Amino acid sequence: MSQGIVTVVGSYVTDLMSRTPHMPKVGETVLGGPFKMGPGGKGGNQAVAAARQGSAVYMVTKVGDDEFGAYARANFTKETINTQYVFVDPVEATGAALIAVDDNGDNLIVVALGACGTLTTEEVTQASQVIAKSDIVLVQLETSNEAVIATVALAKGHGVPVILNPAPYHEFPREILQDITYITPNETEACSLTGLKVDTEADALQAAKAIYVMGVPNVLITLGKKGCYYYHGGESGKLYPGFEVQALDTTGAGDAFNGGLAYALASGQALGEAIIHANAVAALSVTKVGTSPAMPTIDEVLAFKAVDKL
């Protein structure tokens, strides 16, 4: 089976992570550690997740002309991700994420987008030929709206399906939803998009119906360890349960899901099968510390699924 071509348009930031016994209160200093630096950003994480599953991955992003930018390009190359469209901004610094992870595996993150927040229509358009030959295009909201709009328009023009991961959520032109094939909000993002809380499976159905009406034919609401709720019209959807694992660090789990989903769809898996695969990639990612470095390989995922007989 072909492993497919995935183009990821979005963010790269360098992750600066420290463990903390508990999340600091306002004005509180907490002694934590250890400190780790690693490659990150939603776009970068998703690209690594798809590449480690076996997809041919092209990354479209922008970094600064600095040490973090050189680190980004070297890491993409190490992960066999094509860097032809990793642009370098001569002024803006490479983005960075400040991450605190507590003893429960929960996290707080502050992202300074830097260069990747300045990605332009012109730069995305340079990747038009790559987008045209892709099996799936994956985009998030962790870059400029301009870049997101341009990506969706190009993919539509070439007849290539698009996954929109609306994270981190901020307002964007809702009309692009009519050109999205798959949308993958978590509970919080689904609430921001619809104004409806998502605490239960019944809540997920109502939010999914609202998003479906906005024009997206395939709504996948990720529910953390509960799994993924899928809706495609009609009276009800389907919950694909998550896998039981011991979570060490939940940072990047959503990115793992999206990268795994992109790989599975690009390689020709049916959507239900692809969601199960994406759930497995996400589950394995939380058993390790970090974001991109925690993404599992295809061999790890297949072995894990075999144990669960899925």
Q: 309 labelled as ligand-binding?
A: no
Q: Which domains does the chain have, with CATH numbers?
A: 5-11+41-91+119-307 (3.40.1190.20)
In the structure, what pLDDT confidence band is assigned to residue 2 with cuts at 50, 70 and 90? low
**Would you say 14 is a known binding-site residue?**
yes
- 235-258 in b/e burial notation, b at 16+ Cβ within 10 A? eebebbebbeeeeebbbbbbbbbb
- Over residues 32-61, the mean pLDDT reads 96
The answer to the question of whether 55 is labelled as a binding residue is: no
Tokens, residue 162: 């698009």
42 marked among binding-site residues: yes
pLDDT given at position 106 = 84
Residues 209-255: tens digit of each pLDDT: 999 999 999 999 999 999 999 999 999 999 999 999 998 888 899 99
d(CA 253, CA 266): 20
Instruction: Calculate mean pLDDT across residues 10-22.
Output: 94
**Predicted structure pTM score:** 0.93
Task: With beta carbons less than 8 A apart as the criterion, state whether 177 and 162 touch.
Answer: no
pLDDT reading at 168 higher than 90: yes
Q: How confident is the model at residue 306 (pLDDT cuts 50, 70, 90)?
A: confident
- The per-residue pLDDT of the chain, averaged, comes to 95
Average pLDDT over residues 39-52: 96
Pairing type for strands 107-114 and 94-101 reads: antiparallel
Handedness of CA 271, 273, 276, 278 (dihedral sign): negative
Query: What string of DSSP letters covers 78-95?
Result: HTT-EEEEEEEESSSPEE
Is 227 within any annotated ligand binding site?
yes
DSSP letter assigned to residue 293: G
Query: Is the model's pLDDT at 1 over the cut of 50?
Result: no
288 assigned ligand-binding residue? yes
The question of whether 102 is a catalytic residue gets the answer: no
pLDDT at 141 over 50: yes
Please tell me which residue in 66, 255, 299, 308 is annotated as part of the active site. Answer: 255
Q: Is 133 annotated as a binding residue?
A: no
- Check if the beta carbon of residue 249 is closer than 8 Å to that of residue 288: yes
Is 216 among the annotated ligand-binding positions?
A: no
Token pair in block for residue 55 = 């997809």
